[in-house]
Amino acid sequence: MDLTIAILVTVVGASTPILIAALGELVVERSGVLNLGVEGMMLLGAIAGFVVQFHTGNHYLALICGAAAGMAASLIFGFLTLSLSANQTATGLALTIFGTGFSALAGASYSARPVTLMSPIFPELAAHPVLRVIFGYSFPAYFAIFMVFAIWFFLKRTRAGLILRAVGENDLSAHSIGYSVVKVRYFAVMFGGAMAGIAGACFPLTLTPQWAEGMTAGRGWIAVALVVFASWRPFRLLGGAYLFGLVMTMELYAKAGGGPLSAIPSELWAALPYIATIVVLVLISLRRDASTNAPACLGKPFMPSN
């Protein structure tokens, strides 16, 4: 029982950054924009969150600054792709390269310097041997769960969500009835950037209390693939994120040694999330029906006729 609970707690912690980043990307893609710069925005959020926490000791301010860093990077992406109609795929890749390089440069003087991890919201219940599986987490874990429900409600039950989905499905029709396609997409891109920044800040604040170059380790790419895996639906995204988190947790326990997991090389466990990502994308690409739920205008630049 103790081992099972320990695994569940670790799974939630490992899944939280992926889930937060993927939720932001889901909203961006439902508006018809494909932003492949999630990894870069996460790294910018990670270094911003780490620096603020290191100098101020305030975890929540660090999360806010991480969100601001991710949003600022997303505005660069938005200006190039929405205002200048640059290729979304190439711009997203460039954003990832920029985020990787800039975070490495900015964090060079902070390498291996420690910070304190965020404490659980319910410290008394977090110490309970059983109840900690529900109450043993810091703010970002509960924030991620809340955002799953909030985004579902926004997309399905609000007028603004309907407009965003209309822009993603048929931008010309939305434009013809008076909605500003570019404005809607700007807001979606900014929200996705803020979520990616928060997800990146989670790494030094909740998982590894120090700065390390490239500490997101490709989790941004998993978040992008996870949106496709979940067919652009928030609750499927929740299950998919925890599935990937379980695989990552198995890697940690395999490295720790002992038990049947140690019989499988830890390198294979480390590669499994990325192998699973490739397999999922291949399987979905082979599907010829419309059940993938992909927005019709995804990745296409908006070209109004007048």
Which pLDDT score, from 0 to 100, does residue 98 have? 97
Q: Taking 90 as the threshold, does the pLDDT of residue 135 lie above it?
A: yes
Q: Taking 70 as the threshold, does the pLDDT of residue 11 lie above it?
A: yes
% of the chain surpassing 90 pLDDT: 71
How many structural domains comprise the chain? 1
Collapse the DSSP code of 305 into the 3-class scheme (helix H, G, I; strand E, B; otherwise coil) and give the result: coil
Q: Establish if 286 belongs to a structural domain.
A: no
Q: What is the mean pLDDT of residues 179-198?
A: 97
Q: What is the mean pLDDT of residues 23-27?
A: 97
Q: What is the mean pLDDT of residues 170-181?
A: 94
Q: Which of 246, 216, 230 is nearest to 38 (CA)?
A: 216
Q: Establish if 19 belongs to a structural domain.
A: yes
Residues in the chain: 306
Q: Taking 50 as the threshold, does the pLDDT of residue 290 lie above it?
A: no
Give Cα separations from 162 to 35, 157, 193 (angstroms): 21, 8, 21
Q: Band of the pLDDT at 260, cuts 50, 70, 90?
A: low
* Residue 140 Rama label (left phi>0; alpha psi -120 to 50; beta): alpha
Q: Establish if 283 belongs to a structural domain.
A: no
Q: Taking 80 as the threshold, does the pLDDT of residue 130 lie above it?
A: yes
Q: Establish if 273 belongs to a structural domain.
A: no
**What's the distance, CA 95 to chain centroid?**
15
Which pLDDT score, from 0 to 100, does residue 14 have? 92
Q: Establish if 7 belongs to a structural domain.
A: yes
Q: Taking 90 as the threshold, does the pLDDT of residue 70 lie above it?
A: yes
φ, ψ dihedrals at 230, nearest 5°: -90, 5
Q: Establish if 229 belongs to a structural domain.
A: no
Q: Establish if 114 belongs to a structural domain.
A: yes
Give residue 56's domain range.
Answer: 2-218
Q: Establish if 275 belongs to a structural domain.
A: no
Q: Band of the pLDDT at 262, cuts 50, 70, 90?
A: low
Which pLDDT score, from 0 to 100, does residue 285 have? 67
Rounded Cα distance, 273 and 217, in Å? 11
Which pLDDT score, from 0 to 100, does residue 264 have? 73
Which pLDDT score, from 0 to 100, does residue 282 have? 76
